[in-house]
Amino acid sequence: MRRVTRRGVLAGIGWAGGLAGVGSGRGRARTDRRTVTVATRNCYLGGDLFDLFAAAAGDETIQSAVTDLVAAVDRSRVGRRLDAIAGELSRTEPDLVGIQEAALIRSGPRSDGTTPTATDVRYDFRERLLSALDARDLPYRVVATTEPADVQLPATVEGEPRDVRLTDRDLILAHERVATDGTTTGTFDAGLSLSVDDRTVAVDRGYEVVEASVGDLAVTFCNTHLESASAEVRAAQAAELRDRLVDRAGPVVLVGDCNSGPGGSTAAYDHLTADFGDAAGDAGVGATCCHAADLRNADPSLDARIDHVLVGDRLRVADATRVGADPTERIAADGERLWPSDHAGVVATLVPADPTTASPTPSPTERETEAGTEAGTTPTVTGTESDADAPGFGVVATVVSVVAAATVAARRHDD
């Protein structure tokens, strides 16, 4: 694989101008029975993935990288950050929320690493977020979950040799006023496959779909987190997801961290927007990625729009805004100020589109002309360096980077 920096991973994403969102998206009592407010929020693992490839050869490469990762997560003040995200939901009170990187981090005795066995919970992002919501009397429930990645690696935790188990999770939350049914979850056919010695490590991504009724409006709501470490895999996942959603009979809403956005080489975004409108883009919502890896930058450093609210032609955006993009939203921790996540979130209120002005759905022939790899393939990532050479890409990219670093070290040792 070629050497790619964060800018390379997000090549051509398009740098969104302006930092101000449109509208307020404020929490409200349900008065209009024909609107739905949705949100997407990446909670961010909290780790910095720089300099993995500078590690020394041997098993200590992995151990040192994971040890540093755990320390970085500790410094990111997970509990305070998730409290802040609960506060965002309190202010905006969306009906449906797509959550990415609701990680579960566990530790346990050293093992052979072939099967994840660690059970001692260090951080449970999902339960911590739910507790923070409950403390605010916010009646949200988890209606769908995927766990696309679950990997255990050696580390040193509080001076002791331990294994650390990283489990990636994405969620859909629904407010109590929302009725849900027909939940579907899955992993994409397209995924990363990395070879380390005689072991193949599969790194997957997933999606969750729920049928929801908000007042008199019924929608299909989908949440996803597309691959960050390979543009080829990301495009294939987007094509697969588009094909799963495009023939749904009713209004469709797709939210998530797509790691792709307007402008330049954007096969994943183009696959999706061939059939779905960019509601947040139409509303002028600004960039969503990324703050500094340690979350301590004083001013916003968002310069790419990769977190999206996409809608079928039966819906249009009435109002949209960002959260986590204003310095006043930073949390106080040990005399410092931290952003809740390295991403900003997006909240959008949607209404039925006028059927006389709804945009037509492109024909299958038109859709197939979009750039990128078709769904159903499983690209294999090989070589000596990882595409995920940057923080902010979550549990999956952490695993990719650590495993790839180990590969580099082993090859250098052989040389």
Give the CB-side neighbour count of residue 322, counting CA atoms within 13 A: 28
Report the C-alpha gap between 391 and 9 in whole angstroms. 11
DSSP per-residue letters across 105-138: EEEES---SSS----EEEEEHHHHHHHHHHHTT-
Question: Which residues sit opposite 160 in a β-bridge?
Answer: 157
Report the C-alpha gap between 363 and 394 in whole angstroms. 35
pLDDT in tens, the chain (415 residues): 333 333 333 433 333 333 233 333 334 445 457 899 999 999 999 975 433 333 333 445 778 888 988 999 999 999 999 999 999 999 999 999 999 999 999 999 998 767 889 999 999 999 999 999 999 999 999 999 999 888 888 889 988 999 999 999 999 999 999 999 989 999 999 988 765 456 666 778 999 999 999 999 999 999 999 998 889 999 999 999 999 999 998 999 999 999 999 854 588 999 999 999 999 999 999 999 999 999 999 999 999 999 999 999 999 999 999 999 999 999 998 899 999 999 999 999 999 997 444 443 333 333 333 333 333 344 443 333 334 334 444 555 555 555 555 444 444 444 4
Give the pairing type, strands 331-333 and 199-203.
unpaired
CA-closest candidate to residue 243, choices 188, 203, 281, 306? 188
Report the C-alpha gap between 90 and 394 in whole angstroms. 25
Report the C-alpha gap between 239 and 133 in whole angstroms. 34
**How many Cβ atoms are within 10 Å of 344's Cβ, its own excluded?**
31
DSSP state of 159: T
Contact 222, 209 (CB under 8 A): yes
Cα–Cα separations (whole angstroms), residue 116 to 64, 110, 375: 19, 11, 29
Contact 163, 153 (CB under 8 A): yes
pLDDT at 47: 75
188: its two tokens: 């994409």
pLDDT at 378: 41
Report the C-alpha gap between 315 and 300 in whole angstroms. 31
CATH superfamily of 6-414: Endonuclease/exonuclease/phosphatase (3.60.10.10)
